Amino acid sequence: MNNILPLRYLLALCLVGTISGQLLAAPAVTSLSHHGLRKGNTTALEIRGTELAPQPRILLGSRTVAAKVAPDATGEKLGVKIDLPADFPSGIHLLRVVTPDGISGGTPITVDHLLQIAPADRLDQLPVAISGTLSGEQMMRTKINAKQNQTITIEVEARRLHSPLQPIIRLYDSRGVQQAWAQGAKTLLRDARLHYVVPADGEYTIELHDAAYAAAPNSPYRLKVGDWAYADVVFPLAIQRGTKSPLEFIADRAGSVATAEVTAESNNGFLTQPLPGDKNFSGMQPVLIVSDQPETIEVDSGSPQQVSVPGSFNGRISKAFQEGRFLVNVTPGAKLSFDVQAMRSGSPLDAVLTIYDAKDQKVLLDLDDRPNVGDPGMDLTVPADTSAILVGVRDALGRSGPDYVYRVNVRPKVEGTFALTLPNPTTKVAPLGQTMLTVDAQRQGYDGPIELELQGLPPGVIASNTRIEAGSSIGRVLLSANDEAEGTAMIRVLGHSMNGNERGPVLAVAKHAESELSKRYTWLREEVPLVVVRPSPISISWGPTSPSALGVGQSIPVQPRVIRRAGQTGPVRLSLVTNQAVVTKDGAPDPDRSLRFEREVIVPSDQSSVATKLVAPLNLSTGSYIVLLRAELLSADGKQVLATTHAPAIPMSVERPLSLELTGTDTLKVQVGTGVARLTGRVKRSPGFEQPLRIVLTSLPNGLPNLFQDLEGSQSDFDIEVRLPYSTNRKQGITAEVIAVTLGPDKSKEIRSNSLPIKIQPGRGSRPAINPPQRIFDDEPEFLEQLTEGGGKPEFTRDDKYSGTGSLLVTPDQRLNVNLPNVQFKIRKNPGPGEFRYLRFAWRKRGGAQICLQIAHDGKLGPAGPRNAPFRYHAGAGQCFDGSLTVSPNLPEEWQVVTRDLYADFGEFTLTGLGFTAVDGQEALFDFVYLGRTVDDVDAIEVKK
């Protein structure tokens, strides 16, 4: 690529500093003075919007038209005189304004031969088109003089021009008596049309208003009065690409208005076919589908015609209550899809689709409209005993006519597909710059990679990063232009399935938001106007190094570099754009689950780079990402974005910074009681990851405490002794898992490894020597006197207990003593005589949301130690005070026995007291509280119910 900018771009860059407002903002059109252009004439048009200058040019569809710009043009108002040749195609086109900074969205405008005028009290010349606006209860009225037997057509274009008006047309005679009226029709996309044969010479009044007399402010309309050629639909609705076929153009119920023979050639699957004698035509051109499969056209043969698969049948309901039928030979068990095209192409047919077994006329499927689609469609699995089916189409109300045409497409059902949508309807790219085109994927059973193909790119523009990765729902296509690129193009984005590295068939074409006009002209949703704009005043790169890998919970330093051109000195805001689907929290992107910078990054006006960190939060999903660096040039006050560009996309691997692998067996045989087995393995740490870890054998059943081993930052090998209490059920195998977690005071920053499944097979063993458990409380009413602190009231109750003679009842908030008499028990990893590790107690809660047991350590309550251990247990919602371990998310409304490993939960300490906490609601009840050296010790506690 030639890196020397051509003179035209150097001159443009020299002018950058003199342009005010949003420097590289694309134009936007908000209104037109009228919505019609007269072919073979010059039409003055006022366009209002934003950023309409400098150097505007006008596009109609994909054609640049001759337009003389008024000298008083501004960014908000643009006066133009548009000169259209007499052979310019009639119809509704999208008008766009193009400037050196971008292209506007499309605004519908009609091109025809009609005289364009403003609203007038009387029409002295016909045919004519009146452009105006209505608001609220306003009505437009005008008068005409008509002769007996004269046919008058009155039609309003409003919804087709993206107007919110719900039009009603009325016609009155000279006495003020209504002679005819029309409301919105589906065939006209909810616009209205009426025909009237004048019974006598005289003066007639035409009235137009909103159906609810509540038009949105300044709702535009174009009212046509007189006589002109039009056609709503064409028959057949489709012809096969490359074939020649006769076409019949149909207007309302009047039948054929013209015929022609065409050869179908089209890149986007549609053809707007001009009527013969196009100069007298006005309105929407009828849509002809160009297909890549056989198209069968109905003939009056007296028996159903045969259609192959894939293939289509084009028919017409010409008699009342008629059902058109065709025959399809099928394979038993085959899966087929049927799609009816009628209303979507302008036909008034409210189609009902019925499928019969051809042998016995048994109905297999019967369907009317689909949700959000005016025409029916269905999938069918052919019954095992069926080799031929009849497909029938009829009108739901039994209506008929020359315009009641339809097409049924039959094809094998596609298993696993996707849809593609485009959030932005236009895009732009600067020479020697890059821009991003976002493509969203809605997967429907296909989770593999999607290869995007961009059709129609102008010379000098290339697309990269065109793959949506497997399982991803978003694509970020990068468009780059060389220094020779220029012009405007309508591009399309096609999505191919992938079979390995082989590109499969097209399963979807990307579409942007639907408009009233695109309900008929469906290809408009597929067109993406792309314009090559003047060079961006900034460029961006990743700087000295580009990141390629990152572990969750980690960050890496980066130093992006900004290059400002042509004296630009504004601040530049940097951000990340990835192919990660946006994860939200409270309606905004969730920073805890998004790849991001550690903070907002602003490169000051006097700097070209800034050091920051790229962060992979703990909750970020692991996998492969595509990452783009976006730079936004800001105004001096930082409130306006003047230009946007991107650095090339880079792949980024986000993985766990630690992973586990076993060096021994994953199936352990353990004799209950005195038996022991060893679980051995190794932790793989990413470079520089040296945090202390806990290897935990978790998910053990029957309330067994987790088994674990702690590793220092320099250790990688683990060896956990696995023991099972003598009371373990030997008839049932145990499924558990081993996982590594980081140790630290802040649980929200805990990093977890992959988990590995472990199987444990209990075997017959020996009863271990039992060390008598240490009782702290069990059936002693005098224990209440030792609880000297707290606002709750303690009571020894015999009415509600788990075992023994009674239990301790405490009202909110709590009752406690951090230094209970004769309670000085050491909690140790390997307890010796007089030392303990396991805690067992029973509790229950009446009402409220939470219950809590606090463990006093060294005469204190609450978090302490290097791990900031909470020294509290809770069940129910939330946490107890400023931190606690969850025993259960559910409140124990019935008695629950709890066994905990105090060392695993809090480390080594001296237990000096207890706090019995009701927190809220009514009473909390606590039964026995014991300590033991082993689980078998606390299992030996005898409880009498």
Nearest in space to 416 (alpha carbons), one of 470, 359, 460, 369: 470
Q: Is the pLDDT of residue 8 over 60?
A: no
Q: How confident is the model at residue 943 (pLDDT cuts 50, 70, 90)?
A: low
pLDDT of residue 245: 86
pLDDT of residue 589: 80
Cβ(39)–Cβ(85) under 8 Å?
yes
Q: Residue 401 carries which side chain, given as an amino acid letter?
A: G
pLDDT of residue 483: 87
pLDDT of residue 269: 76
Helix (H, G, I), strand (E, B) or coil at 747: helix
Q: Is the pLDDT of residue 17 over 50?
A: no
- Interval 663-682 mean pLDDT: 93
Distance CA 154, CA 223 (A): 7
Name, in order, each residue with C-beta under 8 angstroms of 881's C-beta and a sequence gap of 6 or more. 852, 862, 872
Helix (H, G, I), strand (E, B) or coil at 938: helix
Q: How confident is the model at residue 7 (pLDDT cuts 50, 70, 90)?
A: very low
Regarding predicted confidence, which is higher, 386 or 258?
Answer: 386
Cβ(3)–Cβ(432) under 8 Å?
yes
- Interval 341-357 mean pLDDT: 94
Cβ(342)–Cβ(428) under 8 Å?
no
Across 253-262, 274-283, 679-688, 840-849, least confident range:
253-262
State the pairing for strand pair 838-845/835-836.
unpaired
Distance CA 416, CA 422 (A): 21
pLDDT digits (tens, 9 = 90+) for 761-796: 999 998 888 899 999 999 999 999 999 999 999 999
Is residue 501 packed enough to be buried (19+ CB in 10 Å), middle (13-18) or exposed (0-12)?
exposed
Q: Where are the beta strands (DSSP E) in 635-755?
A: 641-646, 650-655, 658-662, 667-671, 677-685, 693-698, 707-711, 717-722, 734-742
pLDDT of residue 823: 95
Q: Is the pLDDT of residue 4 over 70?
A: no
Q: Residue 716 carries which side chain, given as an amino acid letter?
A: S
Cβ(59)–Cβ(107) under 8 Å?
no
Mean pLDDT taken over the chain: 90
Q: How confident is the model at residue 12 (pLDDT cuts 50, 70, 90)?
A: very low
Cβ(525)–Cβ(509) under 8 Å?
no
Q: What are phi and psi of 85, to 5 degrees?
A: -70, 160
Q: Is the pLDDT of residue 380 over 80?
A: yes
pLDDT digits (tens, 9 = 90+) for 177-201: 999 999 999 999 999 999 999 999 9
Q: What are phi and psi of 822, to 5 degrees?
A: 65, 20
Q: Token pair of 107, please?
A: 């605004």
Q: How confident is the model at residue 751 (pLDDT cuts 50, 70, 90)?
A: confident
**pTM for the full model?**
0.74
Q: How long is the chain?
A: 945
Percent of the chain with pLDDT over 70: 96
Residue 906, H or E segment: helix 902-906
Q: Is the pLDDT of residue 919 over 70?
A: yes
Q: Is the pLDDT of residue 704 over 80?
A: no
- Interval 701-710 mean pLDDT: 77
Distance CA 756, CA 70 (A): 74
Helix (H, G, I), strand (E, B) or coil at 576: strand
Q: How confident is the model at residue 242 (pLDDT cuts 50, 70, 90)?
A: confident
Q: Is the pLDDT of residue 266 over 50?
A: yes
pLDDT digits (tens, 9 = 90+) for 806-840: 999 999 999 999 999 999 999 999 999 999 999 99
